[in-house]
Amino acid sequence: MQHFPKLYLFVLWVLLIVTLIMAIALGAVPISLHEMYSAIIQTFKANAIFNMHEAVFIDIRLPRVLLCAITGGILAASGVMMQGLFRNPIVEPGLIGTSSGAAFGASFIFVLATKLPDWLQQLSGIFLVPVFAFLGGVLATVLVYTLAKSAKNVSVTNLLLIGIAINAIALSGTGFLSFISRDPQARSITFWNLGSFAGANWLQVRVTAIVTLPVMLLLMGYTNQLNALMLGDKEAGFLGVHTERLKWQILLLNTAMVAVATAFVGVIAFVGLIVPHIMRLFLGGNNRLLLPASFLCGAILLTVGDIAARLLIAPGEIPIGIITSLVGAPVFILLLKKTQLLQKGGDYD
Amino acid sequence: MIEVNNVSYVIQKKQILQNINLTIPQNSFAVIMGANGAGKSTLLQLMAGSFAPTSGKIMIGGDDVAVLSPEKLSKRRAVLSQKYHLPFALTVQEVVMMGRYPFFKNTPGIIYETIVTEAMQAMDVFQFAQTNYQQLSGGEAQKVQMSRVLAQILDASAQQKKYLFLDEPVSQLDIKFQYQLMHIAKSLTRRHVTVLAILHDINLALQFADSLHFIKNGMLYQSLHHPAEIDIELIHQIFGVPAIKIKNSETNFPFIYFQP
């Protein structure tokens, strides 16, 4: 369908950079290109002195925008992988338990961290939250997957229904934790369940990037096998794919990425659903191109969403999860309508 | 050569196949026939290595299928299943290229592009190369899938013999392409490929097969290594329909005329 895959990726890169610059420039404190430039030059000097605008840029705006872009990329890429794995375009981390499981794992640490031994508490902020988010995410995803799996196949109806059930369990767990917690903890859970980049800092950017880069490189190596999986499990096996092994590897890598992002910014729904769908319309379904393209597109769209989150009710801020859900849910309904028609023609096995 | 030694297959306490013994000579075209539910597809799946038999052994090119890894098997044999449903849009070329996936890691080399083109031309689908697979008709899609399995085995050689398993490959094809596919399958046997197909059309089978194997109720009823010698009593036993055999002096294969 696409004759110039590299051109598409190039266009997406350019769009991403333009979006990032816009996202940095816009806000309560506007930042000019010149200030961005001089601040970046300053950081390479031994004892950098920033004026107010430059400080806002380096310490607040830039980490926020970067974390937002990486998170958007993660969620979209995760959508591509999950949809490929389940052979269905209506799957995303929010629907099959990954996000809510990660949210539960993270709130667990928010509330119970003070009960932990001192040496563990020291680590709690930056390491324990992602680790528990990962454990929660894996647990929920694996539960949904194994429960939805009947004798030989994973039906999508099962998957979504069990996803609802596991999401409900994880949400009530999170709700219970916020109920027994003290007020500031509860507030952070609530706010965080809606997703927000307000607290972004450099450490979070670094941890997220360090996890994302190798995971994305590994996932790129699976794209051909994921294509083969489109033919069906058995048929992919005929092409030399260890299907069960592939599923577990992708599930774990994917959850690692989503859990880290979720641990820092909270639950952001529907990005993983909409972005791959849009990209497929332009580029077709070949995962080799779809995966990197969706990562870039996810980064662009979530950054735009965050601009909206900051500007719509300025100086206040809307949690970004509200915006993505508002835009994403209708798209999800449309997709459901479409795939039901599609399912009558052929069965997913 | 494919050797099936005393193979049985039981699933959920149901005996699907029982003590099957058959040998398919190297570089020949074998056809399996039988009524619905006789166990033909299961036998083909077992030979292709998609699951292991409950007991018995299947050797393909001198190696036990159960021991070969999926990667090694995929370099040695290709399988055409009955039905495919692609959940996402891919071009025909991208689908056919999957046949070469066992042989490269990231991007295909020029040689592979050539093989893929050859495979598409063989089934007359080259004009669809950039078309979305999902928009094809059932017959066109079947041709594309045949091209894909061809791409997987077209580079067979005396050093690297290959095997092709076809599960009802002509079910959705018009007459012209039924014959085209059979001709291609037959010609592959001269290119170091051993072909095994499940067919329902006895006359198509008689015209092309080097050996015919009849399955009934999970057992091998009879193997014919000279298909032309088929007798109508056998046909009645297998298909439950009376038939007459018409010999034709112009062809070296008989014609079976069913009289239900």
- Would residue A3 count as lying in a domain? no
pLDDT digits (tens, 9 = 90+) for B124-181: 999 999 999 999 999 999 999 999 999 999 999 999 999 999 999 998 899 999 999 9
- Would residue B126 count as lying in a domain? no
Q: How close are the terminal C-alpha atoms of chain B, in Å?
A: 37
For residue A3, what pLDDT is reported?
61
Chain B residue numbers touching A247 (CB-CB < 8 A): none
Query: CB-CB: which of A234, A280, A286 is closest to B94?
Result: A286
Number of independent structural domains in chain A: 1
Chain A residue numbers touching B70 (CB-CB < 8 A): 237, 240-242
Chain A residue numbers touching B91 (CB-CB < 8 A): 1, 284, 286
Chain B residue numbers touching A227 (CB-CB < 8 A): 90, 94, 98, 101
Does the distance separating the beta carbons of A221 and B106 come in below 8 Å?
yes
Q: How many CB atoms lie within 10 A of CB B175?
A: 9
- Copy the structure tokens of residue B63: 């190696």
CB proximity under 8 Å: A 138-177 to B: none
Model confidence at A348: pLDDT above 50: no
- To test the contact with chain B by mutation, choose from A238, A246, A281 the residue with the greatest count of B C-beta atoms within 10 A, namely A238
How many angstroms separate the Cα of B56 from the Cα of each of B6, B24, B35?
Answer: 5, 16, 24
Q: How many CB atoms lie within 10 A of CB A242?
A: 15
Model confidence at A121: pLDDT above 70: no
For residue B194, what pLDDT is reported?
95
Q: How many CB atoms lie within 10 A of CB B177?
A: 20
User: What CATH number has the domain bearing residue A66?
Assistant: 1.10.3470.10
For residue A347, what pLDDT is reported?
40
- Copy the structure tokens of residue A66: 């970067």
Q: Residues of B at the A interface (Cβ-Cβ below 8 Å)?
A: 45, 48, 50, 70-71, 73-75, 77-79, 81, 83-91, 94, 98-99, 101-102, 105-106, 130, 132, 152
Task: For helices A202-221 and A243-265, give the axis angle rounded to 10 degrees.
Answer: 160
The more confidently predicted of residues A123 and B87 is B87
Model confidence at A194: pLDDT above 80: no
d(CA B196, CA B142): 17
Q: Are A195 and A324 in contact (CB under 8 A)?
A: yes
Q: How many CB atoms lie within 10 A of CB B107?
A: 8
- Global ipTM: 0.91
Of the candidates A223, A235, A237, A210, which has an alpha carbon nearest to the alpha carbon of residue B71? Answer: A237
Q: How many CB atoms lie within 10 A of CB A41?
A: 11
* Domain enclosing residue A129, as ranges: 16-345
pLDDT digits (tens, 9 = 90+) for A55-110: 888 888 899 999 999 999 999 999 999 899 888 887 878 778 888 898 888 888 87
For residue A125, what pLDDT is reported?
57
pLDDT band, very low/low/confident/very high, at A264 (cuts 50, 70, 90): confident
Which range has the worst mean pLDDT, A4-18, A140-154, B50-64? A140-154
For residue A344, what pLDDT is reported?
43
pLDDT band, very low/low/confident/very high, at A340 (cuts 50, 70, 90): low
Of the candidates B141, B135, B131, which has an alpha carbon nearest to the alpha carbon of residue B93? Answer: B131
For residue A346, what pLDDT is reported?
38
Does the distance separating the beta carbons of A235 and B94 come in below 8 Å?
no
Tell whether A254 is within 8 A of chain B (Cβ): no
Work out whether strand B55-60 and strand B211-216 pair parallel, antiparallel, or are unpaired: unpaired
- Would residue A189 count as lying in a domain? yes
Most confident of A251-255, A331-335, B210-214: B210-214
Chain B residue numbers touching A231 (CB-CB < 8 A): 84, 86, 98
Model confidence at A233: pLDDT above 50: yes
pLDDT band, very low/low/confident/very high, at A349 (cuts 50, 70, 90): very low
- Would residue B95 count as lying in a domain? no
Model confidence at A120: pLDDT above 70: no
For residue A187, what pLDDT is reported?
67
- Copy the structure tokens of residue B233: 């009593």
Number of independent structural domains in chain B: 1
Does the distance separating the beta carbons of A221 and B88 come in below 8 Å?
no
Which range has the worst mean pLDDT, A16-20, A82-86, A181-185, A271-275? A181-185
- Chain B nearest-CA residue for A345: B85
- To test the contact with chain B by mutation, choose from A230, A279, A340, A341 the residue with the greatest count of B C-beta atoms within 10 A, namely A230
pLDDT band, very low/low/confident/very high, at A171 (cuts 50, 70, 90): confident
- Would residue B93 count as lying in a domain? no
pLDDT in tens, chain B (260 residues): 899 999 999 988 899 999 999 999 999 999 999 989 889 999 999 999 988 999 999 999 889 998 999 999 999 999 999 888 888 999 999 999 999 999 988 888 888 999 999 999 999 999 999 999 999 999 999 999 999 999 999 999 999 999 999 999 998 899 999 999 999 999 999 999 999 999 999 999 999 999 999 999 999 999 999 888 888 889 898 888 999 888 877 888 888 898 88
Model confidence at A36: pLDDT above 50: yes
For residue A314, what pLDDT is reported?
74
Q: Are B223 and B211 in contact (CB under 8 A)?
A: yes
d(CA A209, CA A201): 12
Tell whether A228 is within 8 A of chain B (Cβ): yes
Query: CB-CB: which of B84, B98, B105 is closest to A239?
Result: B98
User: What CATH number has the domain bearing residue B6?
Assistant: 3.40.50.300
Say whether B163 sits in a helix, a strand or coil.
strand
Chain A residue numbers touching B89 (CB-CB < 8 A): 1, 280, 284-285
Query: CB-CB: which of A225, A238, A286 is closest to B48?
Result: A238
* Shortest Cα distance, chain B CAs vs residue A41, angstroms: 39
- Would residue B130 count as lying in a domain? no
Q: How close are the terminal C-alpha atoms of chain A, in Å?
A: 26
Does the distance separating the beta carbons of B132 and A284 come in below 8 Å?
yes
Query: CB-CB: which of B85, B87, B89 is closest to A284?
Result: B89
- Would residue B41 count as lying in a domain? yes
Say whether A36 sits in a helix, a strand or coil.
helix
Model confidence at A259: pLDDT above 70: yes
d(CA B54, CA B218): 13
Of the candidates A90, A85, A55, A19, which has an alpha carbon nearest to the alpha carbon of residue A300? Answer: A19
Of the candidates B200, B251, B179, B170, which has an alpha carbon nearest to the alpha carbon of residue B31? Answer: B200
User: A334 phi and psi, to 5 degrees?
Assistant: -55, -45
Q: Are B245 and B255 in contact (CB under 8 A)?
A: yes
Does the distance separating the beta carbons of B101 and A225 come in below 8 Å?
yes
pLDDT band, very low/low/confident/very high, at A152 (cuts 50, 70, 90): low
Of the candidates B162, B155, B118, which has an alpha carbon nearest to the alpha carbon of residue B27? Answer: B162
* Domain enclosing residue B202, as ranges: 2-87+156-258
A287-317: burial string, b at 16+ Cβ within 10 Å, e else: bbbbbbbbbbbbbbbbbbbbbebbeeeeeeb
pLDDT band, very low/low/confident/very high, at A128 (cuts 50, 70, 90): confident
Model confidence at A114: pLDDT above 90: no
B66-94: burial string, b at 16+ Cβ within 10 Å, e else: eebebeebbbbbbbbbebbbbbbbbbbbb
Q: Give the up-direction half-sphere exposure of residue A349: CA atoms within 13 A in the CB hemisphere.
A: 14
Q: Are A232 and A241 in contact (CB under 8 A)?
A: no
The average pLDDT across A133-160 equals 79
Does the distance separating the beta carbons of A224 and B74 come in below 8 Å?
no
